[in-house]
Structure 1
Amino acid sequence: MTIKVDHIHGERITVSAGGVDLLSYVYRPDPEPYESRKPYVHPLRTLSGRLVSGYRPNDHRWHKGLQMTASHLSGQNFWGGHSYLGPDQGYRRVPERVGSMRHDGFAGLTATDERLTLAEDLTWVANDGAEWAGERRGLTVHAVDEAAGSWALDWSIRLTNLRDEPLRFGSPTTAGREMAGYTGLQWRGPRDLTGGTVFGPDGPDGPDGAEGQEALMGTQGPWLAFSGTHDDVDAASTLVFAHAPENLDPERAVHGSHWFVRSTPIPTVAFSWAFFEEFALPPGDAFAFRYRVLVADGAWDRERVASALAELSW
């Protein structure tokens, strides 16, 4: 299935197929600094046009589709919104903690009928204007399969510490909040996917809804799927979040990754790179992760997810 790429320079890149805008990668920052201004993907849609991302929901205005985040980074908040300050203080509005990710330019952008590949340079900037980290980000849209009703988005990050002291990555859980280890690449779904089915690769059928999020929250695994039914139309969609093999290899990964997932009260998934424990990145050092998000029409089951992922090479 042929894709089409439109680039509004200085604002966004949109990829479409069959007359449907599958995604827009927005790199012009939104105006509110408290929401941690940074690039994001929204809208995100299935091949049939079902919306599977949420933008500035009323419960968390800083949730924007699919975006790279760091909720706790050496005392700064690159997630957006209130900062968790520990069990005694809870969440507080601390604007001086909220950082941003600056788009510096595209190092490469290649589009064919079947694939879009881009490389982007960004700088992570603390609230006081200090440049803390340099990022090379990669996005690839591929595997657009009309027969299967699915397509894939690959997202990579290589982050280098620009400071003269270690960068310390954590989460609300490392700061004292139980089972709230969100940080890293995060997806926020639309409100109609609330209460959807959550499952991983293990088990014959797998728990769904709230049971699924409780069973999988804080666990490790190669992939996690989220399936839900839309309002207005008789249709379901499934998103599959998958790690590249090296992400889960203790010899190659900077730190162990765990799933942060909620089906209720909000639909969200994050590839958390610092769920239970902090890790430090020394000055001048870098780490890298690669992720895949498979976007599909229909309520896929475990067997279908596993089969689709097996057909896609890294």
Structure 2
Amino acid sequence: MTTTPLVLRCQGRPVGRYLHRPDLPARLSPRPYLHPVTTLGGTTVTEEQPADHLHHLGVSIAVPDVGARNFWGGRTFVRDQGPTALDNHGEQRHDGWKLRDPDGFVEDLSWRAGDTELLRERRTVAATAVTPTAWALDVTFSLTNPGPDDLSIGSPATNGRPGAGYGGFFWRAPKEPAAPDVFTAHEEGEGEVHGRTADWLALSGADWTLVFAGATDDTRKDPWFVRTREYPGVGSSLAWADRLPVPAGGTVVRRVVTVVADGRLDRAAAGTLIRKALS
């Protein structure tokens, strides 16, 4: 069932559409997501179900392995076998709003595999102005294990695929004729920033720039998952090298702030904007 999306606004302008009950097939691991997200000037900076990865859904919280269930979509990486089509997809279900305003919301969700609830989530999303040409998307998610047994979060990397430690906050950007630039305060290029931690990371396309930053100590410890040549996407990885335990009754919290700016920013401008957004 699809319901009317929530329109996210900043300075009175629509900057994002949040689909909290999308009508998606099970193989895409149905989940709420933001698309389109735009700059204040109206440029779209997300992509939804692109041909190269149909399960990429704008901005979402997506995890390939929660207790062996796929909340990412697509095939599952199986050790000593590779990417495999399995009937193991989970679903993130919208349970209700705790707050719903034009510039943000607080939402309760359940992560389910059939009748089993693996995780409960409290998600907080806010849009705030940074400059006349830039705004910030602030996303916090808290994942609680409600069951009596411990579970853990994994990734293709923890299941045997080196360098594929994706899972958590993920932003799929639009593919353009030229690959976007990617850089941090000290490094530049996919090969130099992928799989490493950094206080912030920028992805810059033809006429837009996204600047991502972890806004808590735990989030800043998560390496960045980065793609530019194959497709443009950035994620903050929950399980880069080792599985992340979520004990019974335990909670994992992460917060990512993303500056969405018109124009191609250089390193100095990107750093200035993200510091302002975090202040």
Which category of TM-score, normalised to the shorter sequence, fits these structures?
Answer: over 0.9
Task: Specify the alignment match of 1:5 in structure 2.
Answer: none
Which residue in 2 is equivalent to 1:109?
Answer: 100
When normalised by structure 2's length, the TM-score is: 0.94
Relative to structure 1, the CA distance from residue 193 to residue 70 in structure 2 (aligned partners, 3 Å threshold; closer, same or farther) is farther
Q: Distance in 1 between matches of 2:71 and 2:159?
A: 15
**Distance apart, 1:21 and its partner CA:** 3.2
What is the match of residue 156 of structure 1? 140
Rounded Cα–Cα distance in structure 1 between residues aligned with 2:8 and 2:245 = 36
- CA gap of 1:17–1:278, structure 2 versus 1, over 3 A, is closer
Secondary structure class of the residue paired with 2:274: helix
Mark the CA change 1:74 to 1:183 in structure 2 (over 3 Å): closer, same or farther.
Answer: same
Q: Check conservation: 1:158, 1:289, Cα contact below 8 A.
A: yes
CA distance in 1, matches of 2:245, 2:218: 17
Report the identity percentage: 35
Structure 1 residue 136 corresponds to structure 2 residue 122:
yes
Distance of 2:131 and 2:118 partners within structure 1: 40
| 1:220 maps to which of 197, 221, 232 | 197
1:106-150 residue CA offsets vs partner (Å, 9 max, x unmatched): 011234xxxx13110000001x3201111000000111532xx11
Corresponding residue for residue 238 of structure 1: 209
2:9 and 2:127 in contact (8 A); partners too: no
Separation in 1 of the partners of 2:222 and 2:191?
Answer: 17
Separation of aligned partners in 2, 1:240 and 1:260:
14
CA offset digits 1:69-121 (Å, max 9, x no partner): 111111111001111112x21111112x110100001011234xxxx131100
CA distance in 1, matches of 2:273, 2:97: 31
Superposed, which structure 2 residues align to 1:273-292 within 5 Å? 273-292=238-257
1:298 to 226, 246, 263: 263
Amino acid in structure 2 at the alignment position of 1:123: S
User: Which of 94, 101, 105 is the matching residue for 1:118?
Assistant: 105
Specify whether residues 77 and 178 from structure 1 end up closer, same or farther in structure 2 by C-alpha distance, changes over 3 A only: same
Q: Which has the larger radius of gyration?
A: 1
Q: One-letter code of the match for 2:150?
A: P
Give the alignment of 1:1-314 within 5 angstroms. 10-16=3-9, 21-86=14-79, 88-95=80-87, 97-111=88-102, 116-126=103-113, 128-143=114-129, 145-146=131-132, 149-192=133-176, 195-202=179-186, 206-207=187-188, 212-229=189-206, 236-248=207-219, 256-313=221-278
SS at match of 1:310: helix
Cα RMSD (Å):
1.8
Structure-2 change in CA distance of 1:109 and 1:306 (3 Å): same
Shift of 1:29: 2.2
In the comparison of the two structures, how many residue pairs are matched?
278
- TM-score, normalization by structure 1: 0.84
Flag as ranges the 4+ runs of structure 1 deviating above 4 A.
Answer: 16-20
* Structure 1 portions without partners, runs of 5+: 1-8, 230-235, 250-255
* Kept in 2: contact 1:222–1:248 (CA 8 A): no
Contact 1:52/1:189, CA 8 A, preserved across alignment: yes
Contact 2:10 2:127 in 1 (8 A): no
User: Relative to structure 1, is the Cα distance of residues 89 and 194 closer, same or farther in structure 2, using a 3 angstrom cutoff?
Assistant: farther
